[in-house]
Chains A and B, each alone.
Chain A
Amino acid sequence: MTTPQVHHLFHAPIADHSFSTDKQTLAVARENNVELYQQSGNKFALSDELKGHEKTVTSVDIAPNSGRIVTCSQDRNAYVWEKTPSGWKPTLVLLRINRAATFVRWSPSEQKFAVGSGARVIAVCYFEEENDWWISKHLKKPIRSTITTLAWHPNSVLLAAGSTDSHARVFSSFIKGIDTRPEPSAWGERLPFNTICGEYLNDTAGWIQGVAFSPSGNALAFTGHDSSVTVVYPSAPEQPPRAMLNISTRMLPLNSLIWNGETEIIAAGHDCEPFRFRGDENGWQLAGSLENKAGDAGGAREESALNMFRQMDLKGQASADTKLKSTHQNTVNTIRVHEEANGAVSSFSTSGVDGRVVVWSA
């Protein structure tokens, strides 16, 4: 296993990160701004700042093809940033929400994006040519609390959302004139806007922190504050799912997850390291950590006697035990696919509260 590439950008939490398609640009949400980093050699150097939000930026996403960046913030706004010769220009999105915007993701078609919020709605936003602005339609119906996370189905119509009411839901976000009618699937056949294609609750009912569709779109995984991962295989529209498998773990809660093919999930969270889960419809299991801790133990540095006594004098202990053995030194907030081919992930990236962005080989 190759060692992960660690980019320690700054000493502040990273709420969300996103790489451009060519992996040369890295957008990172830091406090009220989004910082853009450009790769130079092995390192990422600060190249630009997207300033405009007045409160903490909660989420950022770069559209892979168009290169547009969408950001959202606790100031209840979202902006779409476009690169012009004179710099990045923001366009305000009419979200019509009265609470913080918590999460944003482009649809795979890049015609739409969805913004989750504390106002118990998901704003599905699309561009209106005539007026030259981004407007939104609200997914509202059974949501009882803040939306914490969103994930798009490959068909750009179905949208999975996790909420602090402990439910993971699958909605249709079909917008006439923007979307083409999707192929019927196990999630549903006719899919007008705000159709609820699935609503799932764990036995242990934690806040949902991460959701993801499998590469085929025929399975949904979600993780929450109950330290478990749940995988749902739908059977047919309006029917109970074919299988709903819950893997409760002995670890601290996981915050974010991605699929690697149809039989593997990688998730990371409060234990500061990514874990691999493997399985299929008949059962899922934790397969272990992706962290290579053996190397760390061998690399324990030799302390000189002088250094040891100096430490004892300064701090009253021989060696300060303040470093975690994991690559991340604090909670991981976001895990994203970095490089993939046909659903098989070859590398993925994580970012967390410790100000690091790490690229791992899967």
Chain B
Amino acid sequence: MSQLNYRTINIDALDPESSTNFPMESLLPANLPQAASASDAASAATQVRQMLRGGDPEGALQTVLDTAPLGGDDRAKEVHLATVIDVLQGIRQGEMTRILEGVCSGDGGAERADCLMKYLYKGMSSSASGSGAQSPKKSVSPQATGFSQIQARNLGEGGGGQQMSVLLSWHEKLVEIAGTGSIVRVMTDRRTV
């Protein structure tokens, strides 16, 4: 005898007009680069770390932002996030403004600024889970909304605290240069990092 609890049926999933069935891929622009794999991200990471060791933090930051796997899979994105955070942590506080001005100017500078802002928010949303095992993902809404950038917020206690303060000081400097428009675009842009 089957017992069906009608209260637990997700009626939105059955309604083609429902907003939960909105095709999110329709928000991706046609010029999205080819999907990058995790090994692509790893080779980019080696290159970037070399530049960082060679004393070229500006070049390292520029390269890591230009090679962001906007069309990549989750694994590639995770590897690349770790590289970006390494670069950000490898730059001294006193040099941040000078380097940011260099990276966010010139051809494609505005896109790099927006891209860095995406990494700052992603870094802040996932900093604690980076050190240990992935904590069980707490979803804000009962159903998956498709907005992958909204994740359970972590207040940065424990190991993530230092990384969080680095990200926050980058955030402050970046807002001075790229403005609030850049923050707004992190929310609208579906080319996630």
Q: Are B114 and A206 in touch, CB under 8 angstroms?
A: no
Q: Is the CB of B185 within 8 A of A165?
A: no
Is the Cβ of A205 less than 8 Å from the Cβ of B184?
no
**A180 close to B (CB within 8 Å):** no
Q: Are A202 and B179 in contact (CB under 8 A)?
A: no
A249, B19: Cα distance in complex, Å: 29
The count of residues in chain A whose C-beta lies closer than 8 Å to any C-beta of chain B is 24
CB distance from B161 to the nearest CB of A (A): 30
Q: Which residues of A contact B13 (CB under 8 A)?
A: none
- A183 to chain B minimum Cβ distance, whole angstroms, is 30
Size class of the B contact interface (CB-based, 8 Å)? 20 to 34
From 218 to 263 in chain A, residues with beta carbon under 8 angstroms from any chain B beta carbon are: 224-228, 248-253
Contacts of B178 in A (CB 8 A): 250
Q: Does residue A181 face the partner (Cβ distance < 8 Å to B)?
A: no
A224 and B22 contact, CB distance less than 8 A: no
Q: Is the CB of B114 within 8 A of A204?
A: yes
| Contacts A144-B22, A144-B23, A166-B27; A206 near B182 (Cβ below 8 A) | no
Q: A205–B32 Cα gap in the complex (Å)?
A: 13
Supposing A250-B179, A251-B181, A252-B184 touch, asked if A226 and B189 sit within 8 A by C-beta, the answer is: yes
Residues of A contacting B158 in the complex (Cβ-Cβ under 8 angstroms): none
Residue B190 at the A interface, CB < 8 A?
yes
* Residues A250 and B114 in contact in the complex (CB < 8 Å), given A165-B27, A201-B27, A204-B185: no
Of residues 18 to 55 in B, which have CB atoms within 8 Å of A's CB atoms?
A: 19, 22-23, 26-31
In the complex, what residue of chain B is closest to A240 when comparing beta carbons? B30
Q: Which listed residue (B17, B19, B23, B189) contacts A203, Cβ 8 A?
A: B189
Judged by DSSP, the binding face of A is loop
Is residue A19 contacting chain B, with contact meaning CB distance below 8 A?
A: no
Number of A-B pairs, beta carbon distance below 8 Å:
68
Chain A residues with CB under 8 Å of B27's CB are 165-166, 201, 205
Bound CA span A205–B147, Å: 13
0/1 string, B160-190, CB within 8 A of A gives 1: 0000000000000000001111101101111
* Pair B184/A253 contact, Cβ less than 8 Å: yes
**B110 at the A/B interface (Cβ < 8 Å)?**
yes
B191 to chain A, nearest CB (A): 7
- Assess whether B184 is in contact with A225, with CB atoms less than 8 Å apart: yes
A194 at the interface (CB under 8 A from B): no
Asked if residues B184 and A206 are in contact (CB atoms below 8 Å), the reply is yes
Bound-state Cα–Cα, A224 to B179, Å:
16
In the assembled complex, which residues on chain A have CB atoms less than 8 Å from the CB atom of B114? 204, 248
Contacts of A187 in B (CB 8 A): none
Alpha-carbon distance between A227 and B185 when the two chains are bound, in angstroms: 7
CA distance A232 to B30 in the complex (A): 16
A145 at the interface (CB under 8 A from B): yes
Chain A nearest CB: distance from B104 CB in Å?
11
Which residue among A165, A167, A205 has the maximum number of chain B CB atoms within 10 Å of its CB?
A: A205
* Smallest Cβ-Cβ distance to B30: which chain A residue: A201
Q: Which residue from B29, B180, B181, B187 sits with its C-beta under 8 Å from A202?
A: B29
In whole Å, how far is A230's beta carbon from the nearest beta carbon of chain B?
12
Chain A residues closer than 8 Å to B185, beta-carbon distance: 204, 206, 226-228, 248
Q: A165 contacts B182, CB within 8 Å?
A: no
Q: How far is the CB of B77 from chain A (nearest CB, A)?
A: 18
**Distance between Cα atoms of A354 and B179 in the complex (Å):** 24
- CB <8 Å contact, A204 and B23: no
Q: CB-CB < 8 A to A174: which residues of B? A: none
Residues of A within 8 A of B179 (CB): 249-251
CB-based contact B26/A165 at 8 Å:
yes
B188 close to A225 (CB less than 8 A):
yes
Instruction: Assess the B181–A224 pair: CB atoms within 8 A.
Output: no
Chain B residue with the shortest CB-CB distance to A205:
B27
Are A203 and B188 CB-contacts (below 8 A) given A248-B181, A249-B179, A250-B179?
no
C-alpha spacing A253/B190, complex, angstroms: 17
**Max chain B C-beta neighbours (<10 A), residue from A165, A202, A207, A250:** A250
B182 touches A203 (CB 8 A): no
- Shortest distance between the CB of A100 and any CB in chain B (Å): 14
Instruction: Please give, as numbers and ranges, the residues of chain B lying within 8 Å of A250 by CB-CB distance.
Output: 178-182
In the complex, chain A residues whose CB is within 8 Å of the CB of B191:
203
Which of B114, B181, B182 has the most C-beta atoms of chain A within 10 angstroms of its own C-beta?
B181
Q: Interface of B with A (CB < 8 Å)?
A: 17, 19, 22-23, 26-31, 110, 114, 178-182, 184-185, 187-191
The 3 closest A-B pairs by CB, nearest first: A250-B179, A227-B181, A206-B188
11 of the cross-chain contacts (CB-CB < 8 Å) are A165-B26, A201-B27, A201-B29, A204-B188, A205-B189, A205-B190, A227-B184, A248-B181, A250-B180, A251-B180, A251-B181
